[in-house]
Amino acid sequence: MKFSASLALANRSMLRNPLRALFMMLGVTIGIASLTAMSTMGESTRQETMRQFKNMVGNYDLINIEPGASATRGMPSLTTVEPTLRFGDADAILEQVSGVKQVAEVQNAFDLTVKYRDQTTASAVYGVTANWLEMRSYFIDFGSVLTQEDIESVARVAVIGPDIQRDLFGDQDPIGKQIRIGNVPFQVKGVLETRGAGPGGSSLDGIVFIPVTTASKRLFNRDFLTTITVELHEPLNPEPVMQEITAVLRERHGIVPPGEDDFGLVSPRASAEQVADVDSTLTRILTGISAIATIIGGTVIMSLMLIAVSERRREIGVRRAMGATRQDIMQQFLIEAAAASLLGGIIGALLGVGGGVIAVLQQNMPPVLVWNMIALAIALSIGVGLLFGLQPAWRAANTDPIDALRS
């Protein structure tokens, strides 16, 4: 029998038993809807997390060197790090390590009081070199950036984030106005473009940048650094450069084997990959659960098809008596199972994509459709129908036509 004829018979059978066809589709629909919804939400969450992480680190082509023999808990600051990194370390790395494009020095502290007249706010304050803003992809909305002249002259100037501008100045133009960080006056010379929220959801715009020399000599009165940031010429192969940096710092700090390093190297790219791996693992777990739901839907198809074979024994007997072969009977029942499963998969994919998009939009994230997963889900639904329809089809094909006609 031609495939088109078998398809027409399968369609007629489902129309005669719409309730059974509905239940056959339902299990697959639920599984495929879950699968596509989870893939949409998982990919949207992963990309949003990576975007926020990129906002925070600015550039993946960097290595951050932090003080201390072990990783600092949380963000490094003058109150949490050991005084083991010095200004001279940054100069030595730039001069002695091949593969280093540029180096930036950082001193920072959190929750410092920043005032303008009678307005007060708390801010993270970063003392940085002139190249640090560019390395971390901070851009000026209006005003001007910190310059090398500001660094060399120990200037009391500041570039502020949008949150600081809003809290202290409201609708006023802050350029040229004087703020006080602690008890030290600084003149505002620029306002940053907004960076939005970081991976934890907190704003990245409540920040103040000042020259690192001014921070060290006039504000913090500290001669050690909280971070040295290194930009690489070949960011895709950071390991040799990291080994050279480690060797230079161990020599400068007088560390000999088996002594431990009094510093740590952190790669934003590696951290980003770890974040992505966590999201991917969660997505894989949820996808596995959805796949199990789809398989359960397949068992429902098999059970209902076995019942249908018992109920349609006379029909099978009549078709065999009119010349239908076992292959024709088997083909018809396989097509019925696959068609019901495919229709359930298509409906499930549409429901899953719609539900996933709605859930993502409610979290203020841009939806991302994972087309390969949608195609895989629909293909899976066909596979489930064929696999779980195989036993009922085989039983129908091997029904004795004489016994079937007598039933």
CB within 8 Å of 239: residues ≥ 6 apart:
none
Least confident of 52-56, 196-200, 299-303: 52-56
In the prediction, which pLDDT does 120 show? 94
For the question of whether the overall pTM of this predicted structure is more than 0.75, the answer is no
**Token digits for 339?**
């068609």
What's the number of CA atoms in the CB half-sphere (13 Å) around residue 385?
29
What pLDDT shows up at residue 273? 58
pLDDT band at 49 (very low <50, low <70, confident <90, very high): low
Using the predicted structure, report yes or no on whether residue 275 has a pLDDT greater than 70. no
As a whole number of angstroms, the distance between CA 145 and CA 122 comes to 22
**pLDDT single digits (tens) 113-135:** 999 999 999 999 999 999 998 88
CA angle, 93 then 96 then 100, to 5°: 60
Cis amide leading into 367 (omega within 30): no
Residue whose structure tokens are 């696999």: 387
Q: Quickly state the pLDDT bin for 376 (edges 50, 70, 90).
A: confident
Q: Tokens at residue 183, please? A: 């008890």
Q: Is the pLDDT of residue 399 over 80?
A: no
The pLDDT tens digits for 306-361 are: 877 777 777 777 777 777 778 878 888 888 888 888 888 888 889 888 888 888 88
Question: Nearest 5 degrees, angle CA 106-CA 153-CA 179?
Answer: 70
Bridge partners, 70 (sequence order): none
| HSE of 141, CA atoms in CB hemisphere, 13 A | 15
More confident residue, 101 or 44: 101
Q: What are the pLDDT digits (tens) for 198-244?
A: 655 567 789 999 999 999 999 999 999 999 999 888 777 788 888 99
* β pairing state of 157-160 and 184-192: parallel
Q: Please state, as a whole number, how many other Cβ atoms lie within 10 Å of the Cβ of residue 280.
A: 14
d(CA 127, CA 17): 75
Q: How far apart are CA 185 and CA 65, in angstroms?
A: 30
Which of 200-212 are b and which e, b meaning 16 or more Cβ less than 10 Å from the residue's Cβ? eeeebbbbbbbbb
Q: In a 10 Å sphere around its CB, with 0-12 CB exposed, 13-18 middle and 19+ buried, how is residue 180 labelled? A: middle
Better pLDDT: 279 or 115: 115
